[in-house]
Amino acid sequence: MTRAVMPGSFDPVTYGHLDVIERASDLFEDLIIAVVENPAKCCLFSLQERVGFLVGTVNHLANVRVDTFSGLLVAYMQSARVRVIVRGLRVATDFEYELQMALMNHELFAEVETVFLPSSHRYSFLSSSLVKEVALHGGSVTAFVPGQVEEVLKRKISAERG
């Protein structure tokens, strides 16, 4: 297993994501962070912003690159010649959802394997949704996201408030 993909919306990327990315980069020779473009899912940040945040925060990892995809993850994996999916798990409910996705992906592309990495305990509560919620209500997200994400998040929230 030399190449893996870690898919997600990363809206926005958090220190929890980065923890899993860094640990996965130690396990695989090549790790692709695949940012999904899903028009049905309303994201606060544009695809370009999410990619930019990730590129800026993983540039210290020589074996990690950021890419985008739309549609089925397994179709992307086939075109990129990747067989391993990396998914982070925070709590038990994550496992139920992620197991369902892993089984479906395996049905769609029999060569796919999913590797689950539990989050570090200090990030087990952290999600992009919670970060946006805290920021929306004026709380500090400094401990949860890289500085460049925090700055843009504050600007977006200020702009929405008018």
Is it the case that residue 154 has pLDDT exceeding 80?
Answer: yes
pLDDT at 143: 97
A 10 A CB-CB count for 32 gives 21
What are the CA-CA distances from residue 3 to residues 74, 113, 118, 142 (Å)?
A: 14, 11, 19, 32
Residue with tokens 């990747």: 82
- Residues 67, 27: Cα–Cα separation, whole Å: 19
Domain extents for the chain?
3-124
Whole-number pLDDT of residue 162: 67
pLDDT bucket at 1, cuts 50 / 70 / 90: low
Residues belonging to the active site = 17, 41, 90, 128
pTM of the shown model:
0.93
pLDDT tens per residue across span 73-122: 999 999 999 999 999 999 888 899 999 999 999 999 999 999 999 999 99
How many CB atoms lie under 10 A from the CB of residue 18? 17
Q: Determine contact, residues 63/31, Cβ cutoff 8 Å.
A: yes
* Measured distance CA(100)–CA(98) in Å, rounded: 5
Per-residue pLDDT tens digits for 21-49: 999 999 999 999 999 998 777 799 999 99
Separation between Cα atoms, residue 44 and residue 22, nearest integer Å: 25
Domain over 3-124 is classified CATH 3.40.50.620: yes
Confirm if 21 and 6 have CB atoms less than 8 A apart: yes
